[in-house]
Amino acid sequence: MRCPYCGADNTQVKDSRPTEDSASIRRRRICVDCGGRFTTFERVQLRELWVVKKSGRRVPFDRDKLERSVEIALRKRQVDEERVERMISGIVRQLESRGEEDIPSGEIGLLVMEALKGLDDVAYVRFASVYRDFREAKDFQAFIGELASGELTGRGLVGADEDA
């Protein structure tokens, strides 16, 4: 672990304990070189996951990328950060518990859409607009019409822009 103050790799763990939600481990560290103290949070990863893009290309699963896309959908929305973290952790746990190493990107998108649907309607529509590749205002109108009438059940939600 690199020291944020001097950049040295020579650090020691002084204290280690699980976080309240037990999803990560909080470690208090000290830099042997400069004496700086800092905290890191480390997540336990059950297995190495790979995302299979529409093109067939495999890339390592990146939780940070998942967090960024959810963050973009939730921008300027009043949603408790703890709920968002629980949602993201839940998605990752679902992916890890599948027992498969390779996960199609479309399935990840579906999980995110379902989770956002229960969290915030506006974020759900924002995410869907990218995931389903809306091109015109009528795409939004049709989607919101389906949402309002309760027709959205997961059918036809496989996204066109899977590298997003």
The rounded distance, in Å, linking the Cα atoms of 124 and 112 is 9
Nearest to 24 by CA among 48, 44, 49, 46: 44
Residue 115, burial from CB neighbour count under 10 angstroms (0-12, 13-18, 19+): buried
Please give the pLDDT value at position 45: 63
Please give the pLDDT value at position 164: 40
The pLDDT tens digits of the residues spanning 9-20 come to 999 999 999 877
User: Token pair of 48, please?
Assistant: 């190495």
The pLDDT tens digits of the residues spanning 96-152 come to 888 889 999 999 999 999 999 989 989 999 998 888 888 899 988 888 888 887 765
Asked if 25 and 19 touch (Cβ cutoff 8 Å), the reply is yes
The pLDDT tens digits of the residues spanning 133-145 come to 888 999 888 888 8
Residue of higher predicted confidence among 154 and 110: 110
Please give the pLDDT value at position 5: 93
| CA-to-CA dists, residue 100 to 92, 133, 136, angstroms | 13, 27, 37
Q: Which amino acid is at 128?
A: A
User: Token pair of 106, please?
Assistant: 């479309």
Strand-strand pairing, 37-43 and 24-31 = antiparallel
What's the pLDDT band for 163 if we cut at 50, 70, 90?
A: very low
Residue 90 scores a pLDDT above 80: yes
The pLDDT tens digits of the residues spanning 20-74 come to 767 678 899 999 999 999 998 887 666 789 999 999 999 999 999 999 999 999 9
Residue 157 scores a pLDDT above 50: no
